[in-house]
Structure 1
Amino acid sequence: MVIRKSRKKIFIIICAITCFITLSHHLYRYAHHSFPAYFSPPPLPLISTLSNSSQSISIVHISSQPSLPPPKILSTISILIPDWEVLVIIPPEKSTQIILPLGNNYVCLFPNNVISSARLLGKLPFNGGYAFKCEFPMRNRRRLPFFQPILVFKEEQENLYFHQFLNAPLHLLRWNFIVYDSFTTKNDIVLFVKGVNNRQGVNRPPSDFRCVFGDEPLTAVRTNITSSVQEVFRCPRPEITGSHPISVTVEILENDRTVMMPTLARYVPDNRRTIIQSEGKSLMCACTMVHNVGKFLREWVMFHSKIGVEKFVLYDNDSDDDLVAQVESLRKEGFDVRTIYWVWPKAQEAGFSHCALYSTQICDWAAFFDVDEFVFSPTWLESAQPNIDMLRSLLPADPDVERVGQISIQCYEFGPSGQIVHPIDGVTQGYTCRRRFDQRHKSIVYLPVVDQSLLNVVHHFRVKDEYRSIQIEMDKAIVNHYKYQAWPEFQSKFRRRVSAYVIDWRENMNLMSNDRAPGLGFQPIEPLGWTEMFCEVRDERMKMLTKRWFGVNGHSIMAWQSS
């Protein structure tokens, strides 16, 4: 009886072992087939990671055949930005190695082998690297930590998986704590820093920071920060030489420890300036931040070029319309329009600081207006034609003698004026009804006297102490701000609050703030009666003026419609 029970137990054990082995074999085959990156990586040599949170990648397919040449290794740095998007940056020291076609030929490959399309944003003009953007996949948002993707060719995505390239993925950098750009002047370097001075008007003292030049913390060269206002930090150039880009970041001094910020910024020691002074200085530039303004650009450029703006500097904040084609068309027609890819989100003030640095070497004055804002003077109504001295007449004859560093012009805000789509003959023709009282102001700044801090708020700069700002009387000049347009246009604007210090319309807070559209709330839903909102005064002066100046074919069309 005992022997029979023992045999029964042995038989049960043998059956259990057999079932376990069989089941394990099937599970292994299923996992190996479905998730090869985690179970059977190819026998490739380990690729070491680079410093500054970058990761080495290959953008060509790796084959296990020993006869093929080794893959070309590049480096990327990836940052999670708002709206679950990822910026993927190829640093400048690696971008010179790119000989393969750019454009939208890449995808982002994440460690769990999920793929999303990568869109080329452009070459960063002062950083020198390339910027791509891809969506952070929905399934990857559910589990921390978040990991950086790698950039691979779209044509080869079928046969690729993450661990062919990198066995240890790096954590995604966060947009709320990073040094994201730099600008080198003759004597110092300006860094653009997110995540330190987060409240308007509240800035930590420069003594809390140092600039750090170099990839290795122990051998890096440090210089003191001389200014730290908003997102703009300045420090002297170090006593080092070389022609290759090196990392530069900000070191935060906190009691008995230091915190090194992750960085995208690069510095080339032997560059005397970021901009070579090879062009003549003009009287006036116009600086603006743009996003998908292709349909509005021609009207804005053509109008302001005729009254005195000679150079237009557009900071392109991730446009995906026909802006590039419009800029190229205008340039072929002789207009000096230049684009700087400013891909950084919620960084308008920093972009204006950047433009003040850029423009000071090519212009004496800079007008900080948006593309939906047009300068207008009632004194021009009697002029048959525009002339390039019209804006000049608003400026002091000699700003250094008069000690005037900035003029401010008040704004009228125009409403939809009955329009349900973008008026084909332009905003100056289509929007003719406005709010009664002026709202805020925009500025034209004398660039040599902009304060060292580069502080600016709502298109208005701080100037040096010995200079003053003056406000133009409204009977001399105003700005027509075509702010509340036909709903499809305003709805697209609803997502883009580019200022770091302006409330997003999508946030359910401070609903009575002047930064908001009255009556709109926080949802992108067309309010009842939108087409007639903000219509308190019928004002057709600009319509009549531009019809006279720019009307063609018997005034049936406008000059900006002819191309």
Structure 2
Amino acid sequence: MRRRLATSPFSFAVFVFIFLAGSFSFRVSRDYLPSAALISTALRRPLTSRAVSELLGSSLPPPLDGVLLPDWEVLLVLSPQSSPSATAATADGSLICLFHTGVSSPARRAGATAFRCSLPRRLRRIRPFYAPRLIAASASSAASATGHDFDFPRREMIRWSMPVAYQSFSTEDEVIVFAKGINRRKHSVRPAADIKCVFSPASRGSALAATPATSSAQEVFRCPHPSVRLPSPLRVSLAVALEAAPIATVAEYRLPSIGSQPPSRSRMGVCACTMVFNAAKFLPEWVTYHAAVGIERFFLYDNASEDELDPVVKRLRSEGHDVIVRSWPWAKTQEAGFSHCAVSNRYECDWMAFIDVDEFILAPAWTNFNSPNRSMLGSLLPVQPEIGQVSIRCLEFGPSNQQRHPEAGVTQGYTCCRRAEQRHKSLVRLNAIDDSLSNSIHHFILKDNFKTKFMRRREARVNHYKYQAWNEFKIKFRRRVSTYVTDWKQSTSLGSQDRVPGLGFEAIEPRGWTGMFCEVNDTLLRDTTRKWFGTLGLEGEYRMPWQN
């Protein structure tokens, strides 16, 4: 008969001790990790309370504010003082947004004092929405939530769906505040007499000063500077009607620097301003062409691009092009962005062309030249001092049987257009723009003593490569950039010129798309750019300098 194993109280106690010690060892080994390993591991599995505490011990200063943008994007606004720390951390490695539950997502720079990240899916049903912290990391995959809250200061995020002041610019006499949610409709403007600018500490303290608005139009408001000097850093907001609390703000207020004209840059004759989102592959062709015909400086308002914008701009600069990128992460604010571009560059440029990266200015007379010259665009501008704006009609080009983005560029691949001219784009004399800075993207409102000249088609035109290969075109369903234009997924404003004939409310390719909008075969710009820039290959093909 097999003997039973004797069990004494002592042996039972030893067994319990070993079990508890093993459990404790497992708990410690999970919570107490070396700092470098912790940062790497934090992005791959749940973070515990102790792990979060260790991360926060070496984190960047808390952001001044978080803004919840459309599509669950989070914008973290840093103070100017903490921006150098963020820059240094980015140079050493990547950054992550760490949320209060321990879940995280990769952070991307959005200008000098801001970062973007996505709100993780598991947090989108949790209210309120708290701003995350920026944490240095050595990896970039998202962490899993632990289900526990962690003890670091929480600040509820500003909702982009609510009124908010998002940008400001100071002139010698006034501060210009860019704010959404006050003038909600294009032609419904709240009187300036109902509005005042409110100046307060960036830390959200009590208001220190207020001045009455002198102008209200679209998302642009003007106010005098405070009569007394205030301690910095400051924010500026807007209050509507008597005794109303100011709207939320992330708009930093700065006094203008001494001297109105930037001393480091020479004044240009003609510049160009555009807003870009994931348009890096179009820029070399667009910049090379327009620089050759006379545009001297390019201002790119980056609307939260996620492509290779930085290396492309670096390459263009190395080729001698003057390209300036400004972060403009605000959704559906193209009119305000153009207003900002106009007022902030009034001492740098005489004229500004407001055109998109799929639009190319062409005068038919230029086709007679064997090479471009930088006086071409200037020859279209009037010498009469009362002309403040030149408007040029557009020809809209269709997909031209292209299945994908043409390797040699849009001017080479899209050669079939609609017969009728559509809309217009403008070159604007910056000192002729009305103080309201009102615009409809295509043109600006001018001061009373200026007028607009409309060019005839035989004088100039804009080739608008609007309807491209479907894989490129469908990106426009993401969101329209204009403030007052309905997104294509919404079943409203069906008669708008911004709508595409034959297109529904979803990004579904219509039957016969590649042959649509093709009424006239037009190779004028294609042939001209081949003559000016192309290199003829052995098999008769042309290679353009902007090809990779």
Normalising by structure 2, report the TM-score: 0.84
Is it true that 1:539 corresponds to 2:522 in the alignment? yes
Q: Give yes or no for contact 2:397–2:414 (8 Å, CA) kept in 1.
A: yes
Measured against aligned partners, the alpha-carbon deviations of 1:247-271 in whole angstroms (never above 9, x if no partner) come to 21112224xx312111111123363
Q: Which residue type is aligned with residue 356 of structure 1? A: A
Q: Give yes or no for contact 1:243–1:270 (8 Å, CA) kept in 2.
A: no
What is the deviation of 1:520? Answer: 1.2
What is the deviation of 1:155? Answer: 5.0
Identity %: 44
What is the deviation of 1:559? Answer: 3.6
Match of 2:151 among 151, 160, 164: 164
The aligned residue for residue 366 of structure 2 is: 380
What is the deviation of 1:363? Answer: 0.7
- Partner Cα separation in structure 2 for residue 473 and residue 71 of structure 1: 59
The correspondence of residues 147-546 of structure 1 with structure 2, limited to 5 A, is 147-155=130-138, 163-166=150-153, 169-176=154-161, 177-215=163-201, 220-241=208-229, 244-254=232-242, 257-269=243-255, 271-272=257-258, 276-398=262-384, 400=385, 403-546=386-529
The aligned residue for residue 4 of structure 1 is: none
Measured against aligned partners, the alpha-carbon deviations of 1:359-388 in whole angstroms (never above 9, x if no partner) come to 211110000010000011122221212121
The aligned residue for residue 22 of structure 1 is: none
The correspondence of residues 31-110 of structure 1 with structure 2, limited to 5 A, is 62-63=53-54, 73-98=61-86, 100-102=88-90, 105-110=94-99
What is the deviation of 1:144? Answer: 3.1
What is the deviation of 1:295? Answer: 1.2
Q: Give yes or no for contact 2:185–2:484 (8 Å, CA) kept in 1.
A: yes
| Segment drifting more, 552-561 vs 374-383 | 552-561
C-alpha spacing 1:552/1:454, structure 2 compared with 1 (3 Å): same
- Partner Cα separation in structure 2 for residue 456 and residue 221 of structure 1: 30
C-alpha spacing 1:371/1:120, structure 2 compared with 1 (3 Å): same
Helix, strand or coil for the counterpart of 2:244?
strand
- Partner Cα separation in structure 1 for residue 405 and residue 57 of structure 2: 55
- Partner Cα separation in structure 1 for residue 356 and residue 182 of structure 2: 27
Q: Which residue type is aligned with residue 448 of structure 1? A: N
Q: Give yes or no for contact 2:65–2:76 (8 Å, CA) kept in 1.
A: yes
The aligned residue for residue 5 of structure 1 is: none
- Partner Cα separation in structure 2 for residue 144 and residue 62 of structure 1: 23
What is the deviation of 1:122? Answer: 2.8
- Partner Cα separation in structure 2 for residue 219 and residue 79 of structure 1: 21
| Unmatched runs of 5 consecutive residues or more in structure 2 | 1-22, 32-50
Measured against aligned partners, the alpha-carbon deviations of 1:175-202 in whole angstroms (never above 9, x if no partner) come to 1311101111121111110111111111
The correspondence of residues 118-133 of structure 1 with structure 2, limited to 5 A, is 118-123=107-112, 129=113, 131-133=114-116
What is the deviation of 1:244? Answer: 3.7
C-alpha spacing 1:385/1:71, structure 2 compared with 1 (3 Å): closer
Q: Which residue type is aligned with residue 427 of structure 1? A: V
What is the deviation of 1:323? Answer: 1.4
Q: Give yes or no for contact 2:485–2:498 (8 Å, CA) kept in 1.
A: yes
Helix, strand or coil for the counterpart of 1:428?
helix
- Partner Cα separation in structure 1 for residue 84 and residue 480 of structure 2: 34
Normalising by structure 1, report the TM-score: 0.82
Q: Which residue type is aligned with residue 237 of structure 1? A: H
- Partner Cα separation in structure 2 for residue 218 and residue 373 of structure 1: 47
C-alpha spacing 1:236/1:277, structure 2 compared with 1 (3 Å): farther
Helix, strand or coil for the counterpart of 1:327?
helix
Measured against aligned partners, the alpha-carbon deviations of 1:305-343 in whole angstroms (never above 9, x if no partner) come to 111111111111111111111111111111111111111
- Partner Cα separation in structure 2 for residue 243 and residue 201 of structure 1: 38
Aligned pairs, how many?
A: 492
What is the deviation of 1:274? Answer: 8.2
- Partner Cα separation in structure 2 for residue 99 and residue 84 of structure 1: 24
**RMSD between aligned residues:** 2.7
Helix, strand or coil for the counterpart of 2:545?
helix
- Partner Cα separation in structure 1 for residue 57 and residue 132 of structure 2: 24
